Structure 1
Amino acid sequence: MNKLLKVLAASALVATVLVGCGKKGEDTGAAAEGAKYAKAGLGVVSSYSDGQVNSTIAAVGLDADGKVQYIDIDVAQSTPGGDAEKTKTKKELKEEYGMKGVSPIGKEWYEQAQFFEQFCKGKTADEIAGIETEKRDEEHTTVPKSGSDLAAGCTMDIGEFKEAVAKAIANAQDANADKIGVGEVMANDGEAKQLDTTIALVATDADGKVVYSKIDVAQINEKTTDTKSERKEDYGMKGVSGIGKEWYEQAIAFEEYCKGKTADEIAKTETEKRDEEHTTVPKTGSDLAAGCTMDIGAFLEAVAEAFTNAQ
């Protein structure tokens, strides 16, 4: 069973138990007391150097006071030139990433990222921006200050973490959500020396229905480090679109389509093959096809993963 089918199956199961079954010790009575997250936001910061791409992804959920109550940090990293087999983010790689052996605190990348996440919880944008850092060497110029509480569990460079979190908070939209999750789908193009990372943030109510979502693609190469949504008209899809819509406009149409739907309902979105390069486009004549005619295969996979990761 491939990754998409596994994730879709798991997300369907999650949809049936989303109410009344907590995760990682969360309070399952939150829905009765009101939604946990007033706003949800996504931020992506990418860099390109010597054929390698790094896309740092931050998803946040804020309470009514603007304090971070949910946070997920991850990095989609390609190898120089792009390795088609490399489809896991740093957090998904876990021990395979190999940082523990060279870490001064003996912690793997995902463990240090999780420590940073916990450190940020309960803090505002200004408090996170004010986290003290120092230069360790020419390659690590923004590491947690020695002797600080954060440095006890995270000694890797957090410059792009802080930047992505700041962007996510600035991008945050009203959600009134009970759970938030994020999913990423990576695709390396060695010939183009490009990494495409499809990112889905999903915020749901107590019934597991989408109240807010954000879809974006970090298509990063030596020419651009902006996401497709950030490029807006500069992306250049409108002129070749059958419905005269730019990429970000079609992504918004997909987001609107997802509102009020469960994981299972989104997974069952009808698609069809248009040509060899577009094998998962919205079915002709469907409500979704009225506003989105681009391939949504990676969207569906990332959304399904976001549901399984929701907390």
Structure 2
Amino acid sequence: MNKLLKVLAASALVATVLVGCGKKGETGGDATTAAKYAKAGLGVVSSYSEDGQVNTTMAAVGLDADGKVQYIDIDVAQSTPGGGDKEKTQTKKELKEKYGMKSVSASMGVIKDGGEWYEQAEYLENYCKGKTAEEIANIETEKRDEEHTSVPKSGSDLTAGCTMDIGTFKEAIAKAIANAQDANAEKIGIGEVMSNGDAQLDTTIALVATDADGKVVYSKIDVAQINKDVTATKSERKDDYGMKSVSASMGAIEGGAEWYQQAEAFEKYCKGKTADEIAKTATEKRDEEHTSVPKSGSDLAAGCTMDIGAFLEAMSEAFSSAK
């Protein structure tokens, strides 16, 4: 073999080795790294107090391949249905300065100039990033008074920006991580729609995970319909929710379908679609209470016949907030 052939052969060998040593997740000539979020999950914890106030705490997470939190959103839907809050339709985070915690926080003197609710929530979110479920569960807390039994431990790094009770936040985050499903997503977002009844608060929640093209790779729809007797979400109630017999009587879905099954049919329908495509889902009015049901004869109507108006609104908000 002459000198030139030897050089070419050596170059080819080096190129082969370099291709073979690409990072895990890379493919072909246009190698791409693994998706930003390996899994996405939603956790919801609700309570109903003696004075009729509903608190629905929502946590959405995006985990990397090592199970560490890289995306997190914490929010609370708080209202007293029938008690003067009937028009309240914004979460604590959406209320921003209107929530009015900053002056109270400032009077405590722990956070310089105080911290509004959404600011303290964001501080906790940033504190949780890069941590595992176990590390978040082990965040040290202490009792401040009878109403605040799980505030960040005095002198800890977390108290520099968050001094409110985080007990329920930790519980919702733990549920979100436990519920996390494979997503391989580039963006995650969450949307909430609040609706007050005479004796209950309905919070429709949409978690959306999308690929680099903005198409849904995973979604989760749930509704926290909370009153003095119920604090579990509709999905969590499974067959106890009792929609199947009603659905069966309508005859649109053979044998009927429970709420969680119809929600799963909607999630399946959304997979692979963009925000615009989902927003254009054809709906029709069935009666005065059901004004946005899937259009009769559509693919979606084969598995979902309940009103999806709030679903579509929450999904739109989730797409808008995705990051």
TM-score normalised by L of structure 2 = 0.85
CA distance in 2, matches of 1:274, 1:308: 29
Equivalence for 1:10: none
Aligned amino acid, residue 184 of structure 1: E
Give the match's secondary structure for 1:206. coil
Give the match's secondary structure for 2:189. strand
CA distance in 2, matches of 1:166, 1:282: 34
Equivalence for 2:295: 283
Shift of 1:307: 0.2
1:53 aligns with 2:59: no
CA distance in 1, matches of 2:88, 2:267: 28
1:33 aligns with 2:45: no
Shift of 1:85: 1.1
Aligned amino acid, residue 37 of structure 1: Y
Equivalence for 2:202: 196
Equivalence for 1:209: 215
Q: C-alpha deviations, 1:114-168, integer Å up to 9, x for none?
A: 0000000000000000000000000000000000000110000000000000000
TM-score normalised by L of structure 1 = 0.89
Give the match's secondary structure for 1:33. coil
Quick check: 2:81–2:196 contact (8 Å CA) kept in 1?
Answer: no
Aligned amino acid, residue 73 of structure 2: D
Which of these residues, 86, 89, 103, is aligned with residue 87 of structure 1?
Answer: 89
CA distance in 2, matches of 1:40, 1:119: 19
Q: C-alpha deviations, 1:177-216, integer Å up to 9, x for none?
A: 0000000000011x2x200000000000000000000000
Provide structure 2 residue ranges, at least 5 long, that are not aligned to the other structure.
1-30
Shift of 1:33: 2.5
1:97 aligns with 2:105: no
Q: C-alpha deviations, 1:22-54, integer Å up to 9, x for none?
A: xxxxxxxxx942310000000000000021100
Larger radius of gyration: 2
Aligned amino acid, residue 286 of structure 2: R
Q: Which has the higher contact order (CA 8 A, sep 6+)?
A: 1
CA distance in 2, matches of 1:60, 1:228: 20
CA distance in 2, matches of 1:246, 1:233: 6
Q: Root-mean-square deviation (CA), in Å? A: 1.0
Provide structure 1 residue ranges, at least 5 long, that are not aligned to the other structure.
1-30
Shift of 1:80: 5.4
Quick check: 1:52–1:81 contact (8 Å CA) kept in 2?
Answer: no
Aligned amino acid, residue 224 of structure 1: V
Which of these residues, 166, 179, 187, is aligned with residue 171 of structure 1?
Answer: 179
Give the match's secondary structure for 1:43. strand
1:254 aligns with 2:260: no
1:223 aligns with 2:229: yes
CA distance in 1, matches of 2:94, 2:43: 19
Q: Identity rate of aligned residues, in percent?
A: 83
